[in-house]
Structure 1
Amino acid sequence: MMPTAELQYVVVHGYRRAYRTAGTGPALLLVHGLACDSSTWDEVIAPLAEHFTVIAPDLLGHGESDKPDADYSLGGYANAMRDLLTILGVDKVTVIGHSFGGGVAMQFAYQFPERTERVVLVSTGGLGREVTPMIRMLTLPGSGTMLAVATAKPWRPFVRTGLRALAGTGWSVTRDLGEVARIYDAMAEPGARNAIRRLTGNVLDWRGQFVTMTDRTYLAQLMPVLVVWGRQDQVIPVAHAAHAASHSLSDVRVFDDSGHFPHKDHPAEFVAMVTAFVQDNPPAIYHRGKWRAMLRRGDQAVLTTVPPAPSSPAVL
C-alpha cells in the first residue's frame, strides 16, 4: 500500500498553513504554482513517498492555508518554506517547484543554500519575460473587480463545465483547461483573489515577468538542478527551457506530449525522473568560501569569454 498524505495544519507567525506529508527518507519539498494548491501533486506524492519524505504545502493565500493581507513576495514565500521545514524538524531538502513555485524554489535555494540539496524546476517562472496574457491581465487596474464578476456564482458552473469540456477535446491548446477550471473556482474566494493579485504584482506586470533569476543562474554550478517542461505549454513557453540550458543549468528534459503540468500529464515518468535525479546526484554541500568566491566573481567569467554552445534539452 502506498503512503497517504493527509492535509495537516500548523500555525506560523499567527497564520494557519496547510501541508501534506508522507513517506520516509531524504526530504522533498513540493511547491505548487499560482492559484493552485498541494493537490496539484496528488498523482506523484504517494509514489515519491515510497522513497522520500514528501512535504507539499499550500502556500499562504492558496488552498486551505490562511489568506491574510500579508507578504506575498518570493522572498516571503522562501522564508515561509524555511520556517515550515524548521517546525517539522527537516534541515535539508531537494526543492521541487512548479510554475510560480519554481520561482519560490529558486529563491529558497538562493536564500538558503545551506538547506538546499538539489533543485527541480517544472515549467518554471523566473527564466524569461514571456508569460500568458491571462496572467498578465491580473496586474491591470480593475482586475480585482473583473475577477469578481467573472467568478460570480450565477454563471460559475457554466464556465467551469465549459473549461472542462474544452480540456477533453484532446487539442494541445486546451489540454490544461481542466486545471484552469480548478483555478477559476479558487478565484471565487475574495481572499484568494487578493492574494493572487498581490503575488502577481510582485513578479510581473502587463508586459510580462520582470523578476527573473537569469542574473543568478551561474550559482546553479554549486548544486544539482533539473529542469522539466512540456512542449505544449501555453502558460510559460518551452523556449525558456532552452534559456535554462544556455545558463548552465545541469539537466533539461522536455516532454513532447505535455502542457504546463508535466507532473500531471506523465506522473509515472516524472516520479522516475525525480527519483533517478536524486539518486544520481549527491546533495550539494554548502561551503561559505565557495559561495563567497562565486558571488565576488559573478558571471564575469561567462561574459568575458566565448560561451559554449547551449546543450539541447532531452526530449521525452
Structure 2
Amino acid sequence: MGVAIAASTRLLISPRPPPPLRTLFHVAPHLGVVKQKERAPRRPIVSTTSLLGSSSFEIRKRCRTWQWRGHSINYLLHCPGGDGGDPSSSPPLLLVHGFGASIAHWRRNIGVLAEHYTVYAIDLLGFGASDKPAGFAYTMEVWAQLILDFLEEIVQKPTVLIGNSVGSLACVIAASESRQTLVRGLVLLNCAGGMNNKAIVDDWRIKLLLPLLWLVDFLLKQRGIASAVFERVKRRDNLRNILLSVYGNKESVDEDLVEIIKEPANDEGALDAFVSVVTGPPGPNPVQLMPGISLPVLVLWGDQDPFTPIDGPVGKYFYSLPSQLPNISLYILEGVGHCPHDDRPDLVHEKLLPWLACLPAS
C-alpha cells in the first residue's frame, strides 16, 4: 500500500502526514476514459467478510500455507459455496495486496467476488503471515516470480490477477513474463510506478524530495536508526493518521484496518523487509511493460491518491492508455484514495464485476 514507505520519509521530518493531494480534471470521452460523473450517495460500508466470518481474524484463520523456495507463503482459497466448494467449478481470481498490507486488506471484496469466482489471495514474501527472511533482498521481480509459481503450482488454471499499488506492478511484471496459459486478465488498482518512489524521478514532487529520499536510504541502512523509525511508523496513532491521509472515505479507516497493517509489522524480519523495500531498486517500470501486454486490462484509479496521483507521471500514463491500446479500460473513481478496493468497495465492484463477466472464456 505504500503506507510505510511514505511514513519513513514523513516521520523523519514531521509527526503527522500532510493532507492528500486533490486532483480535478475533465474527461475526454474519446479517450475511452470514464469518470464517475456524480459522487455516488454515501452508502454504509458493510464488510463482506460476513460471508467468510465476522472479521479479518476469520480470514486469517482460513488461510493455508504453501512452500515456495524454502519459504512459507500464506494464502487464502475461497470458493463459491464456501468451504465445501470445488475450486475448479468457477474461474479463478488472485488478489495481490500492496506494500504493508496482507490478504485481510481484501476483507470487503473476498465475499462478493466469491459468489461467482474462485478467489485466491496471497501474502507476498515479507508481508502478512508469509515468511520474512532476515537479510533478504526484496525486489519486484521476486514477487512477480512468486505470483507466477503460485499460479502454476496451486491455481493451475488461467487466472485474472487483481492487484493494488506495488501488488498491481507485480501483477504487470508477472503478466509480461507469463505464458498465455497462466494469466487471462489484469485488474490494476492505483498501480505503483516502482517498489519505491525513486522510480518516479520525472515527477516534480519527487525531484524536490529526491535528496531527502537519498538521505532516508542512508539513514535506514543504519540499524539503530531504522529500528527507531520503524517503531514510530507502526505506532497505532501514526498508522491511523497515515491511513486517514490516503483514504478518501474516512469511515473505512477502522480499528480492523489499523490492526491489519500493524500486526505483521511486529513479526521478526518485518524491519528487514521495510528497509529492503524502501532502500532497494525500484524495479521494472510499467511504462515499458504495458505496451507488450495484450490481455484484457481494467484500470481503476482513485482520484484522491497522494502516492500515485492521477496528475503524476504514472497516473497520466495510465490515463492515456485507452486511447493507445484497445485492450485497456480505465475508470477514475471520484473521492477515492490509494486503496480503492477497501476505501470504496462498492464503486470498485460496480466496475469490476461487469468487466469480469465479459471476459472471454479461458
Moved more, 105-114 or 269-278: 269-278
Comparing 20-29 with 174-183, greater Cα deviation is found at 174-183
Residue in 1 that maps onto 2:316: 242
SS of alignment partner, residue 287 of structure 2:
coil
Are 1:20 and 2:66 matched, yes or no?
no
Match of 1:61 in 2: 126
Q: Are the counterparts in 1 of residues 219 and 225 from structure 2 also a CA contact under 8 Å?
A: yes
1:39 match: 104
Q: What per-residue deviation string (whole Å, max 9, x for no partner) do you get for residues 224-261 of structure 1?
A: 11111111111211223331132335111111111111
C-alpha separation in 1, matches of 2:278 and 2:75: 22
Q: Which residue of 2 aligns with 1:252?
A: 330
Note the 1:124-163 alignment, pairs <5 A: 124-126=191-193, 129=200, 130=203, 136=213, 140-143=217-220, 144-152=223-231, 159-161=235-237, 163=239
Q: CA deviation at 1:166?
A: 7.5
1:95 to 140, 145, 161: 161
Structure 1 CA distance for aligned equivalents of residues 111 and 317 of structure 2: 32
Match of residue 297 from structure 2: 225
With normalisation by structure 2, the TM-score equals 0.66
TM-score by length of 1: 0.74
- For 1:223 and 1:281, the matched residues in 2 are separated by 10
Match of 2:288 in 1: 215
Tell me what 1:306 maps to.
Answer: none
* AA of the residue aligned to 1:140: D
* Letter of the 2:51 counterpart: M
Change (3 A) 1:165 1:104: closer
**Mapped contact 1:27–1:93 kept (Cα < 8 A):** yes
Describe the shift of the 1:106–1:150 C-alpha distance in structure 2 as closer, same or farther (beyond 3 A).
same
Q: Which runs of 5+ in 2 are unaligned?
A: 1-49, 54-58, 81-89
Equivalences, count: 275
- Structure 1 residue 171, shift from structure 2 partner: 9.0
Q: Which residue is equivalent to 1:79?
A: 145
Higher relative contact order by CA 8 Å / sep ≥ 6: 1 or 2? Answer: 2
Distance in 2 (alpha carbons) for counterparts of 1:29 and 1:80: 12
Question: Contact conserved, 1:17 with 1:66, CA < 8 A, in 2?
Answer: yes
Match of 2:51 in 1: 2
Q: Give the letter aligned to residue 150 of structure 1.
A: V
> In 1, distance between residues paired with 2:253 and 2:298?
26
1:295 alignment counterpart: none
Percent of residue pairs bearing the same amino acid type: 24
Letter in 2 for 1:217: M
Gaps of 5+ in 1: 205-209, 286-316
User: Quick check: 2:132–2:268 contact (8 Å CA) kept in 1?
Assistant: no
Query: Once the 2 structures are TM-superposed, how far is the Cα of residue 67 of structure 1 from its aligned partner?
Result: 0.7
Deviation at 1:146, TM superposition (A): 3.1
Using the alignment, how far apart are the partners of 1:75 and 1:139 within structure 2? Answer: 23
Instruction: State how far apart, in whole Å, the 1-side matches of 2:139 and 2:191 are.
Output: 16
